[in-house]
A and B are shown apart, each in its own frame.
Chain A
Amino acid sequence: MPTVSLSMIPDLTRAVGVPRLAGIGYPMGRPLGRPGDADGQRAVLRAVLGLFETATGPDAYLELPFEWPESPAQARNASQGLPPPPIVERLRRKPWLLAALYRGEIPRDAN
């Protein structure tokens, strides 16, 4: 099955390796763009699918030219009011486990 991947962290996706990759400088949670911005979303999807016709071999990479209209601080502010993910709560209690994650190990402590 031919696939194309979009990524907001293309550095990591390229390191893993995918057949066709489109990198985009958008924040997590909004890969296609802002809610209600149909034109912007369509432009992103069109560019992503376009890679099917231009990529000639594995590791094909295209950086999409779209710019997010907010600063990182503004984008983070838009996501306030959510509880932290469970792993963040665990790491606040046991910050030494962060070292294992850096090494790519899963700590698997019981609680």
Chain B
Amino acid sequence: MPVDSYRFLDFASRQIMKAWAGRQEPGTVPFTPFPKPLRECTVALVSTAGVARNDDRPFDQEGERRNPWWGDPSFREIPLGTTEKDVRLYHLHVDPRFGEADLDVVLPMRRLAELAEEGSVGRPAATHYSIMGYLLEPKELIETTVPAIAERLRDEGVDAAALVPA
């Protein structure tokens, strides 16, 4: 069965997302070729679930409550080995309970490690990342957050990154 993008959305969200999809201007999509077999690659995960470790700064939910058109555009590092016991999910638009019950639901670091153990992936990166995906205005995300994450990925020898929505 084909994927229905709007099946699980409420009516208002469905209408808004359809309107946004219909208005997007087609542009040039960047494409970085894949350098070597996956079984030799270091792979990192980036989640938009607003995951932050309990010993790290939470995403700013109070700021969004004061101004609902704003979302916290910063990012958090999530070291490999972090589990649901060590984090909270700070995303006010997504039910955090699933990812807080099992972090692999939104940031599948254990599943990635298993794919490395079986040999289909080279190795999981030492550090993975999370942003909080409710950002109506993406300027700071694009100009500041994404370059900072990309720089860290390169510094840590990551070959490829998988982006996981929430």
Contacts and interface: CB of A to CB of B under 8 A. Distances in A.
Contacts of B121: 49
B158 A1 contact: yes
Contacts of A68: 8
Given A32-B111, A53-B37, A106-B137, A3 B162 contact: yes
A57 B104 CA distance: 29
B11 to A, nearest CB: 11
Interface in A58-111: 58-59, 63-64, 67-68, 72, 75-76, 78-79, 82, 85-87, 89-91, 98, 101-104, 106-108
A63 B18 CA distance: 19
Contacts of A9: 5-6, 9, 17, 165
B12 A1 contact: no
Contact of B38 (A14, A18, A52): A52
Interface residues of A, number: 71
A interface secondary structure, majority: mixed
Interface in B29-57: 29-35, 37-38, 41, 43, 49
B4 interface: yes
B108 A45 contact: yes
B3 A25 contact: yes
Interface of B: 1-10, 12, 15-24, 26-35, 37-38, 41, 43, 49, 64-65, 68-69, 92-99, 101-102, 104-106, 108, 110-112, 114-115, 120-121, 134, 136-137, 150, 153-154, 158-166
Given A7-B165, A36-B102, 5 more contacts: A19-B30, A28-B93, A35-B102, A91-B12, A104-B19
Which 5 residue pairs spanning A and B have beta carbons closest together?
A35-B102, A86-B68, A11-B5, A15-B24, A58-B29
26 contacts: A1-B153, A1-B160, A1-B161, A4-B162, A6-B164, A9-B17, A12-B17, A15-B21, A15-B24, A17-B27, A32-B105, A33-B105, A38-B110, A38-B111, A46-B120, A49-B120, A52-B41, A58-B28, A59-B29, A85-B68, A85-B93, A86-B92, A87-B69, A98-B12, A102-B16, A103-B19
